[in-house]
Chains A and B, each alone.
Chain A
Amino acid sequence: MGVGSFFTSKLDEALGWARKYSIFQYPFVTACCGMEYMATACSHYDIDRFGAGLPRFSPRQADVLFVVGTISHKMAPVLKRIYDQMTEPKWVVAFGVCTCTGGFYDNYATVQGIDTIIPVDVYIPGCPPRPESVIDGLMKLQDQIAVSAQRY
């Protein structure tokens, strides 16, 4: 066992711990799920507990892309561009069934799941998801961030 690998794994853990409590989100809100997102982000549910209380309204300053609401084919290139503008490390949360699968909008206008366009880390189902589900999804994302390989 080399000294280097021991040292690296400990640094990874420290970085993971720091990163999971400093989630700067970019809310990409397009539809009714936005109401539930706002409810979650406000004081009653207090997502500041998870270090995710400060949304950034520039993708360049954000770590997590929250895709909240139906994505139409017209909007898809915009979403892809926002994702491309975010700097590494970055994660994507699909908020609500429309972003997960298209939901019941199986029609000419709607993207059948945003994972056909960009990679997704956490899916939060629900129409719309209750704040408890959102917080559950956020904590699952934190777990992923904490154990993933850290690049620095």
Chain B
Amino acid sequence: MSGAEILSALRARFASAIVETHEHRGDTTVVVTRERLRDVLRACRDEPALGCDFLMDLTAVDYAKYPGREDGPRFEVVYHLYSLTHGHRLRVKVRVEEDDAVVPTAVPLWPIADWFEREVWDMFGVRFEGHPDLRRLLLYEEFVGHPLRKDYPINRRQPLIGPKT
């Protein structure tokens, strides 16, 4: 399916859940509400015409201090989907506020989401509701804060041993 066809198929089924879409030379993006995120992702995987059987990446973006986005929700969680059957790609985004940074987990849909979501929790402090084991993935448990947040001080060091600077 082409990007436009993917978007119109999603719009036909989830009109109320779609916040925004974007399509430019195969760069197909759909922004959905958190309430319907799981339904949209499930449809992307199970609908035969969409068939996104591969979650290539799951990451997040911190839009604090981003020009033009100061007032909007702070975080965006991004899902990069790929269909091995059809060879097309789709990017799904969901926006969450800082004081309510929780997203439903995608682990039941794609088991690989397990470590992706742990990494996003580690780096951005976005929690995933229903995740089987939401611990830090890369950093150590003693680490305080989430280093890829834009308000993490660039010079703050938290060594386990050795000098504290």
Contact = CB atoms under 8 A, between A and B. Distances in A.
Interface of A: 73-74, 76-77, 80, 107-109, 111, 116-117
B interface, size bucket: 10 to 19
Given A109-B139, A109-B147, A74 B156 contact: no
A92 to B, nearest CB: 15
Interface of B: 138-140, 147, 152, 154, 156-163
Contacts of A116: 162-163
A55 to B, nearest CB: 26
A76 B162 contact: yes
A111 B157 CA distance: 9
A108 B156 contact: yes
A50 to B, nearest CB: 31
Given A108-B147, A108-B152, A77 B163 contact: no
B147 A76 contact: no
A74 B152 contact: no
Contacts of A117: 161-162
Nearest to A73: B159
A76 B159 contact: yes
B163 A73 contact: no
Contacts of B159: 73, 76, 111
A74 B147 contact: no
A132 B80 CA distance: 44
Nearest to B152: A108
Nearest to A115: B162
Contacts of A111: 159, 162
Contacts of B158: 73, 108
Given A76-B162, A108-B152, A116-B162, 18 more contacts: A73-B140, A73-B158, A73-B159, A74-B138, A74-B139, A74-B140, A74-B160, A76-B161, A77-B160, A77-B161, A80-B161, A107-B147, A107-B154, A108-B156, A109-B139, A111-B159, A117-B161, A117-B162
A99 to B, nearest CB: 13
A73 B159 CA distance: 5
Contacts of A80: 161
5 contacts: A74-B140, A77-B161, A80-B161, A109-B147, A111-B162
A80 B161 CA distance: 9
**Of A74, A76, A77, most B-chain CB atoms within 10 Å:** A74
A152 to B, nearest CB: 32
